Structure 1
Amino acid sequence: MDASTVRERATDLPTEPGVYQFLADEQVLYVGKAVDIRARVRSYADPRSRRIARMVRRADAIDVAVTDTETQALLLEANMIKRHQPRYNVRLKDDKSYPLVQLTDHPVPRIEITRDPDEGATVYGPYTSRSRLETVVKALREIYGLRGCSDHKYANRDRPCLDYEVGICTAPCTGEISEAAYAEDVTAAQRFFEGEIGVLATSLSRSMEQAAESQEFERAANLRDRLETVEAFHGDSGDAVATGDSDGERLLDVLGVAIEGEEATVARLHSDGGQLVDRDRHTLAAPDSGPDQIARVLSAFVPQYYAERELPDALVLPEHLDDEELESWLDTEGVAVRVPGAGREATLVDLALKNARRGTDSRDEVGALAAALDIERPTRIEGFDVSHAQGSQAVGSNVTFVDGSRESSDYRRKRLGGGNDDYANMRSLVEWRASRAIEGRDDRLDPDLLVIDGGEGQLSAAREALDAVGWDVPAIALAKDEELVITPERTYDWSDDALQLHLLQRVRDEAHRFALQYHQTLRDDVSTALDGIDGVGPETRKRLLGRFGSVEGVREASIEELTAVDGIGQKTAETLVEAL
């Protein structure tokens, strides 16, 4: 897209606040926010850095989303960066996205908190505090009886579940309430998220008064707290965020930044009541060099890091932020921002800087691999392996690494029918993955590189599958015996201490481990530690073992990973974690 095309397309864009995306072949390249979308997008006709100039040249489309306020644009931008992982954004690698509320696209919608809404769902948010959002959603379910179960649990029921018994669902699944009456309750919940808090607040207030009259003081206090949360929910920022004691700055975060090559490290020192109580480090992809490089790192880090985290009373920084909307948001939230020149806080900034520089000692294996293969940085790598037991129960594994680290929520596995023909099995496995990607049936982002466990034969089989389906993703192989890296053009024999080889070995070994675990699952016809856990029947057990490979894999999974399995709700996930 050239400068004239950018200006032409900007002409048709709105002048309200919101978020814009530059896309290439429907892949998100860059996400940004703006007070005036049209003016901001028009500025890309003359990009301020070489990196952004390359992004604009690659882009073939611009998409926008209008928001009501600048704060909503700020939060939505952070959410979309987390969700799409755009190549040209400065991304916090270990961040969490802001939570949303969705009412699913279903004749009888369910209400749930999510970071990745379903297609067609009615979505509200994003919000800055998950705990406050959970309080509100629980109150809505108690008042209106909206279901929170998955479609799988909802279907084919002959009696209401426990949610009906405890009064947080009206059981439309068994006809205890008609779909028309349930739809009215859904509409009432929608009106709340659109700003009408009256009915919910009135009901909570009445219940609080009744509890007090009955001398149920603990329940009355709980209802009071819930009422305060509901009444504060539609504040200026769309959510109320606690910032410590009102009579002083109790919570203080000090940030330091160190940049080396393509990676930036942000160190955070956390002070509570004047005492340093915590310190941590986080990595981001570094923006283009320039006098404002550190300011741009800070401006990317702050909104992404403080998703779902309590904002401090004050932020102490080495440089001023490079983002007026971000400064306005922090000011609205009551967060003081200071750049000290001397004194105790300047000493703390120096200490944070020393901690950040310690973080740059880590070696960039992903960058080394890109340089060695002369390719763009492979942020997302997927590994493939096939395995069988003497020709029977052939299985394939598909693992994912992001920025050199395992992304276990994106692991997949499949039964294969190729017997002991490793080439046929690999062709089938890669064709399955490629077909799902091309047809839009795989919810994962496309990888930058495929790593095949095997030699020239396995790589040829994988490339045949890619060509047959038309999925344009580069693939290489790593042979076990001599640890040779095979590409379509040549074979590499790297030294044992090569950074890029270490990364490929981890991907290959993880794919192999994951495939072997699947064999254990297929052979496991006896009882496991999952038996007897409330909410885990035979079918749920099968899905859990199919996704995570073994009971040990289930034990290591997070709440978020567990609830991604069909049929596993928040309560069952928490029960699993406690039981295992």
Structure 2
Amino acid sequence: MGHARVQGYLHTLDSSPGVYRMLDSEARVLYVGKARNLRKRVSNYANPNGHTGRILRMISETAEMMFLTTRTETEALLLEQNLIKQLKPKYNVLLRDDKSFANILVSKEHSFPPVRKHRGRKSTKGNYYGPFASAGAVNRTLNQLQKVFLLRDCSDTTFESRTRPCLQYQIKRCSAPCVGLISKEDYAKMVGDAERFLQGKSTNVQSTLADEMARASEALEFERAAALRDRIKALTQVQQSQGINPRSVAEADIVSLHLEDGQACVQVFFVRANQNWGNRDFYPRVGADISPAEVLEAFLGQFYDNKVPPKQVLLSHDIENRDLMAEALSQKANRKVEVLVPQRGEKHELVVNASRNARESLARKMSETAAQSKLLAGIAEAFELPAPPKRIEVYDNSHISGTHAVGGMIVAGPEGFIKNQYRKFNIKGDEVTPGDDFGMMKEVLTRRFKRLLKEDPDRSSGTWPDLLLIDGGAGQVSAVREIMNEYGVGDIPMVGVAKGVDRDHGKEEFHRTGKRPMALRHNDPVLYFIQRMRDEAHRFAIGTHRAKRAKAFGATPLDAIPGVGAARKRALLAHFGSSKAVSRAGLADLKAVDGISDALAETLYDYFHEKG
């Protein structure tokens, strides 16, 4: 292990670019890196001098290395970031929050296209505008579009079924194309105006509306002129509210970093079409002796792994391989992408503003983390744990008389609630009696521990809990302990949280195996923290249950038939009026429906007649 082990690989390497992995004695990946020259990079690690403490620790733990050569250094950079995201090595900078961002979609699959919020893969035909930093930023923009351009946001099914205008028309947020109150040509013109607005051409839109208003007045069409006046007024208000928008930056991401006491905050501002579309802060995992250049380079590679980069990326700190990063991002975007570190002008001001936000966000985060650490230490003291827990899992069930039963698991740790670790469980065990809370909890914990034992039997990944909190008293604790002992994980501390006397908030009793029930002081911050965790688990379980119930409410027997998707289901219901009428239809009638082939008609007919 260590320098000597690394030295042993030198004779097998040449000067090719590529990616290397450093592994410990149990074959766990410690670090993933890229190199323009693999032999030269590995020879640096073989030299025991000139390394930071973090790198020296990494080398000392290295028992094996793996190598993969690439044609270019750009390919090596892209592969490195893919492997880091997949393997999450101990000594790499890791971007922990990597959710997709919302976009606005102007669909092109309908003659009266809606304008909607869209997340995920861009599989729907249409034009996408974004990314927006948050759902709130998207909703504000959609609200503006509805006020100014009167575009629909209803589903296609709702659109097809309307016989009179809805409330959106009454409050002047829609032009009611569903009932023919606007022609296809006029609606298309408004969609075009909305897209120009999203492209930053709102001034042109405003002058066009003003010309139309003047012509309507001259033609004595005063009602239409008044409507156009209201739209111009709404557009002016939008422009006034966007006073913080940059003048000289049309499309860019502003990426600023602040490092302090071994913690980092990266603030990203999104500018599209000369409009500020919000910001998001990130807290990558870093070491105490890491440089800003290394953090930013790792962040950029991982951040743009699943996102299309803008024309410009403005940085607060320079990175070692700026030209290489620009080349990699250009390759991903299929157009030129500039990576800049501005020193003056409006771009520099934008970066300074983002840096100030990063510094303030990190200060708030560190304050919250310190308070959270005190609470976790309090929990360890209250429940006699060997150390403050780093991962608390809280479980709850939700159902109505046993129907649509679900279990929810939330996770909390030193940084608060870890929402990307939340899990939901659809209760599906045949042996569980409807309404049996004990049976439901046993099924949830059985599935949870089965999966943990399969995926991480040696408990090395950090996904094993240090403490379980379950909603319930002695009976629930006994049922869960039975499961834990069965799977050999009885060493994990577990506490049942019961409502206590009169089921009052603040009079909770805590149950542990082999110990008398206990309570905490009424004003103890640890008690408030446990209540917050239990309430969050309850909220998550109820939300999951409601979503399942709502989905079942809209379900029909057609959902279970292979080959019947949303479009064909819509066609069948429109033709026959109900799923019951579809089930009674003859084969010839089914074949007469648009979009239903002869083979599918026979499948439908056989399905309902076999079941009947």
TM-score by length of 1: 0.51
Q: How does 1:310-389 map to 2 (within 5 A)?
A: 310-323=308-321, 325-326=324-325, 329=328, 334-360=336-362, 361-362=364-365, 363-364=368-369, 373=380, 378=390, 382-385=393-396
CA contact (8 A) 2:253 2:312 kept: yes
In the other structure, the counterpart of 2:447 is 432
Deviation at 1:392, TM superposition (A): 10
Aligned CA distance change for structure 1 residues 93 and 393 (closer, same or farther; 3 Å): closer
In the other structure, the counterpart of 1:255 is 255
Deviation at 1:27, TM superposition (A): 5.2
CA contact (8 A) 2:315 2:341 kept: yes
In the other structure, the counterpart of 1:537 is 560
Residues in 1 aligned to 2:75 and 2:55: alpha-carbon distance in whole angstroms: 24
Aligned CA distance change for structure 1 residues 8 and 354 (closer, same or farther; 3 Å): same
Q: How does 1:459-498 map to 2 (within 5 A)?
A: 462=480, 465-466=483-484, 468-470=486-488, 474-477=492-495, 479-481=497-499, 498=525
In the other structure, the counterpart of 1:69 is 72
CA contact (8 A) 2:5 2:64 kept: no
Deviation at 1:407, TM superposition (A): 2.6
Say yes or no: does 1:296 pair with 2:294: yes
Aligned CA distance change for structure 1 residues 357 and 70 (closer, same or farther; 3 Å): same
Q: How does 1:104-119 map to 2 (within 5 A)?
A: none
- The one of 394, 402, 406 aligned to 2:419: 406
Equivalent AA in structure 2 for residue 383 of structure 1: V
Aligned CA distance change for structure 1 residues 492 and 263 (closer, same or farther; 3 Å): farther
Deviation at 1:301, TM superposition (A): 1.9
Residues in 1 aligned to 2:375 and 2:544: alpha-carbon distance in whole angstroms: 29
Give per-residue Cα distances to partners, 1:345-364, cap 9 Å, x unaligned: 33332211122233232423
Residues in 2 aligned to 1:496 and 1:540: alpha-carbon distance in whole angstroms: 59
Deviation at 1:62, TM superposition (A): 4.5
CA contact (8 A) 1:263 1:283 kept: no
Aligned CA distance change for structure 1 residues 464 and 527 (closer, same or farther; 3 Å): closer
Residues in 1 aligned to 2:255 and 2:91: alpha-carbon distance in whole angstroms: 23
- The one of 452, 463, 470 aligned to 1:447: 463
Residues in 1 aligned to 2:514 and 2:22: alpha-carbon distance in whole angstroms: 35
Q: How does 1:146-225 map to 2 (within 5 A)?
A: none
CA contact (8 A) 1:485 1:492 kept: yes
Deviation at 1:519, TM superposition (A): 7.0
Aligned CA distance change for structure 1 residues 305 and 387 (closer, same or farther; 3 Å): closer
In the other structure, the counterpart of 2:93 is 90
Equivalent AA in structure 1 for residue 308 of structure 2: E
CA contact (8 A) 1:256 1:318 kept: yes
Deviation at 1:370, TM superposition (A): 6.3
**Which secondary structure state, in structure 1, belongs to the residue aligned with residue 288 of structure 2?**
coil
Structure 1 or 2, whichever has the larger Rg, is 2
Deviation at 1:17, TM superposition (A): 0.7
**Which secondary structure state, in structure 1, belongs to the residue aligned with residue 350 of structure 2?**
helix
**Which secondary structure state, in structure 2, belongs to the residue aligned with residue 301 of structure 1?**
helix
Residues in 2 aligned to 1:345 and 1:287: alpha-carbon distance in whole angstroms: 27
Superposition CA RMSD, Å: 5.3
Give per-residue Cα distances to partners, 1:207-238, cap 9 Å, x unaligned: xxxxxxxxxxxxxxxxxxxxxxxxxxxxxxxx
In the other structure, the counterpart of 2:553 is 528
CA contact (8 A) 1:447 1:473 kept: no
Give per-residue Cα distances to partners, 1:288-312, cap 9 Å, x unaligned: 234x632222112212222343333
Deviation at 1:413, TM superposition (A): 3.7
Equivalent AA in structure 2 for residue 346 of structure 1: H
Equivalent AA in structure 2 for residue 303 of structure 1: G
Give unmatched runs, 5+ long, in structure 2.
102-119, 127-247, 381-385, 500-506, 565-612
**Which secondary structure state, in structure 2, belongs to the residue aligned with residue 407 of structure 1?**
helix
Aligned CA distance change for structure 1 residues 390 and 350 (closer, same or farther; 3 Å): closer
Q: How does 1:558-569 map to 2 (within 5 A)?
A: none
CA contact (8 A) 2:394 2:470 kept: yes
Give per-residue Cα distances to partners, 1:32-78, cap 9 Å, x unaligned: 33334555456556594444555556666545544443223322333
CA contact (8 A) 1:286 1:297 kept: no
Aligned CA distance change for structure 1 residues 540 and 502 (closer, same or farther; 3 Å): farther
Equivalent AA in structure 1 for residue 555 of structure 2: L
In the other structure, the counterpart of 1:126 is none
**Which secondary structure state, in structure 2, belongs to the residue aligned with residue 439 of structure 1?**
helix
Structure 1 range deviating more: 351-360 or 333-342: 333-342
In the other structure, the counterpart of 1:234 is none
Aligned CA distance change for structure 1 residues 421 and 61 (closer, same or farther; 3 Å): farther
Residues in 2 aligned to 1:483 and 1:348: alpha-carbon distance in whole angstroms: 50
In the other structure, the counterpart of 1:203 is none
Residues in 2 aligned to 1:13 and 1:458: alpha-carbon distance in whole angstroms: 59
**Which has the larger helix fraction?**
2
**Which secondary structure state, in structure 2, belongs to the residue aligned with residue 296 of structure 1?**
helix
**Which secondary structure state, in structure 1, belongs to the residue aligned with residue 354 of structure 2?**
helix
Residues in 1 aligned to 2:477 and 2:53: alpha-carbon distance in whole angstroms: 36
CA contact (8 A) 1:23 1:29 kept: yes
Aligned CA distance change for structure 1 residues 96 and 427 (closer, same or farther; 3 Å): closer
Give per-residue Cα distances to partners, 1:541-560, cap 9 Å, x unaligned: 9xxxxxxxxxxxxxxxxxxx
Deviation at 1:321, TM superposition (A): 0.8
In the other structure, the counterpart of 2:279 is 280
CA contact (8 A) 2:314 2:340 kept: yes
CA contact (8 A) 2:251 2:311 kept: yes
In the other structure, the counterpart of 1:35 is 36
In the other structure, the counterpart of 2:199 is none
Residues in 1 aligned to 2:99 and 2:401: alpha-carbon distance in whole angstroms: 44
Aligned CA distance change for structure 1 residues 411 and 296 (closer, same or farther; 3 Å): farther
Aligned CA distance change for structure 1 residues 64 and 508 (closer, same or farther; 3 Å): farther
Aligned CA distance change for structure 1 residues 17 and 133 (closer, same or farther; 3 Å): farther
Equivalent AA in structure 2 for residue 258 of structure 1: H
**Which secondary structure state, in structure 1, belongs to the residue aligned with residue 351 of structure 2?**
helix
Deviation at 1:412, TM superposition (A): 3.0
TM-score by length of 2: 0.49
Residues in 1 aligned to 2:490 and 2:45: alpha-carbon distance in whole angstroms: 29
Give per-residue Cα distances to partners, 1:303-326, cap 9 Å, x unaligned: 222234333333332221144653
Equivalent AA in structure 2 for residue 93 of structure 1: R
Count of matched residue positions in the alignment of Structure 1 and Structure 2: 391
Equivalent AA in structure 1 for residue 337 of structure 2: V
Deviation at 1:277, TM superposition (A): 2.4
Give per-residue Cα distances to partners, 1:453-505, cap 9 Å, x unaligned: 1468756765664554356995543624456888999999599685x877765
CA contact (8 A) 1:413 1:515 kept: no
Equivalent AA in structure 2 for residue 530 of structure 1: A
Aligned CA distance change for structure 1 residues 253 and 486 (closer, same or farther; 3 Å): farther
Residues in 2 aligned to 1:525 and 1:321: alpha-carbon distance in whole angstroms: 49
Equivalent AA in structure 1 for residue 288 of structure 2: S
Aligned CA distance change for structure 1 residues 366 and 327 (closer, same or farther; 3 Å): farther
Residues in 1 aligned to 2:426 and 2:28: alpha-carbon distance in whole angstroms: 25
Equivalent AA in structure 1 for residue 267 of structure 2: A
Equivalent AA in structure 2 for residue 33 of structure 1: K
Residues in 1 aligned to 2:475 and 2:326: alpha-carbon distance in whole angstroms: 56
Give per-residue Cα distances to partners, 1:483-533, cap 9 Å, x unaligned: 6888999999599685x87776555444445555777799x699612338x
